[in-house]
C-alpha cells in the first residue's frame, strides 16, 4: 500500500513539474514579447502580454499548490488544486473543442482574409514590409495571382536571383515598359505566397489545437490523481481517529514469576 502511494505521489509530482514548465515557458514568452514591443504604453499591445503573465503565474501557483500539498499531505491545498484543475479543464476543453470545430473552416476563412487585402500595392507600408521579408525568404511573389497582386508596382523582393533566372519552373518573365523589354527581361518568382502562408497557418493551428488537447488530458489525469490523494488523506485520518491508542485487557492472573521478579518501586 505504501509503495502504491509513493508511486502515485511521484506521478503527481511529475505532472506538477510539467505544469511548472508550461508556466515558466509562458512567462518567458511574455517577457520576450514585452521586450520586442515598440510601444508598450498602448493598451492594444500590452493587453495580450498581461494575459500571458497572468496565465504563467497562475500555472506556477497551481503547480506549487499541488506539489507542496502532496508532499506535506496538506488537504486544503490539494482541494484548492482540485478545484482549479476542474475549472481549468472546463476552460481548456471548451477551447480545444472550439478549435476542432473551426478547423475545417480555416482554409476558407484564411483565403477570404488574404483576398481581402488585395491589391498589395494599396496596403500599408508595414504590411508591405512584412510581405517583402516573406517573399525574399520563401522565394514567392504575391498572394493569390503571383506578381499580378502587386499591379504595376512589383517589389524587388519578387526578383529571382541570377542562379534561378533560367529556371522557368521557378521564375517567370513579367512585362515591363518598352525600354525594359528592349534591354532586359525582369524575372520574378512564379509561385504565389498564399499557399505557403496557408500551410504555415494550418500547421500552427494544428500545433495550438494539439497543445490544448494535451493540456486538457493532463488536467484530467491531475484531477484523478489529486482526488486519490485527498481520499488517501481522509482514509488515514479516519483510521487514526477510529483506532486511537490501543488498550489490552486480560482476565487471567499474572504469572508467578512475573510477581516474584517484579521490581520494587
What's the pLDDT score for residue 179? Answer: 47
Is pTM beyond 0.85? Reply is no
H or E element in which residue 20 lies: helix 2-36
User: How would you write the pLDDT of the chain (265 residues) with one tens digit per residue?
Assistant: 455 556 777 778 788 888 888 888 888 887 877 776 655 444 455 666 777 788 888 888 888 888 888 888 888 888 898 998 899 899 889 988 998 998 888 888 888 888 888 888 888 888 888 889 888 888 889 888 888 888 888 888 888 887 655 666 788 887 754 445 445 677 888 888 888 888 888 888 888 888 889 888 888 988 888 888 888 888 877 766 544 444 454 555 555 454 455 554 4
The CATH label, of 1.10.1450, 1.10.1760, 1.10.3470, 3.40.50, for the domain at 110-193 is: 1.10.1450
Sequence ranges of the chain with CATH classification 1.10.1450? 110-193
What's the pLDDT score for residue 218? Answer: 85
What's the pLDDT score for residue 265? Answer: 47
User: Residue 159: helix, strand or coil by DSSP?
Assistant: strand
What's the pLDDT score for residue 97? Answer: 92
User: Residue 186: helix, strand or coil by DSSP?
Assistant: strand
What's the pLDDT score for residue 1? Answer: 46
Long-range own/partner contacts, residues 48-57 (CB < 8 A, 24 or more apart) = 52/26, 52/27, 53/27, 55/23, 55/26, 56/23, 56/24, 56/25, 56/26, 56/27, 56/30, 57/23, 57/27
Amino acid at each position: 500500500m505504501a509503495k502504491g502511494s509513493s508511486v502515485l505521489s511521484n506521478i503527481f509530482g511529475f505532472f506538477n513539474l510539467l505544469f511548472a514548465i508550461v508556466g515558466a515557458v509562458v512567462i518567458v514568452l511574455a517577457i520576450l514579447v514585452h521586450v520586442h514591443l515598440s510601444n508598450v504604453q498602448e493598451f492594444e499591445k500590452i493587453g495580450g502580454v498581461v494575459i500571458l503573465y497572468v496565465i504563467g503565474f497562475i500555472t506556477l501557483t497551481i503547480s506549487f499548490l499541488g506539489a507542496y500539498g502532496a508532499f506535506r499531505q496538506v488537504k486544503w491545498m490539494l482541494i484548492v488544486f482540485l478545484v482549479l484543475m476542474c475549472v481549468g479543464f472546463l476552460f481548456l476543453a471548451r477551447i480545444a473543442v472550439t478549435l476542432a470545430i473551426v478547423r475545417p473552416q480555416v482554409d476558407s476563412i484564411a483565403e477570404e482574409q488574404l483576398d481581402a487585402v488585395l491589391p498589395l500595392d494599396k496596403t500599408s507600408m508595414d504590411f508591405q514590409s512584412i510581405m517583402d521579408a516573406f517573399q525574399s525568404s520563401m522565394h514567392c511573389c504575391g498572394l493569390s495571382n503571383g506578381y499580378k497582386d502587386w499591379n504595376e508596382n512589383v517589389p524587388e523582393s519578387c526578383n529571382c536571383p541570377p542562379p534561378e533566372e533560367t529556371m522557368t519552373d521557378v521564375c517567370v518573365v513579367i512585362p515591363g515598359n518598352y525600354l525594359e523589354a528592349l534591354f532586359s527581361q525582369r524575372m520574378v518568382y512564379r509561385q504565389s505566397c498564399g499557399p505557403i502562408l496557408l500551410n504555415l497557418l494550418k500547421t500552427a493551428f494544428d500545433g495550438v489545437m494539439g497543445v490544448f488537447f494535451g493540456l486538457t488530458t493532463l488536467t484530467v489525469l491531475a484531477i484523478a490523481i489529486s482526488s486519490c490523494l485527498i481520499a488517501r488523506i481522509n482514509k488515514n485520518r479516519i483510521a487514526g481517529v477510529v483506532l486511537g491508542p490501543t488498550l489490552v485487557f486480560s482476565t487471567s492472573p499474572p504469572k508467578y514469576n512475573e510477581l516474584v521478579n517484579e521490581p520494587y518501586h
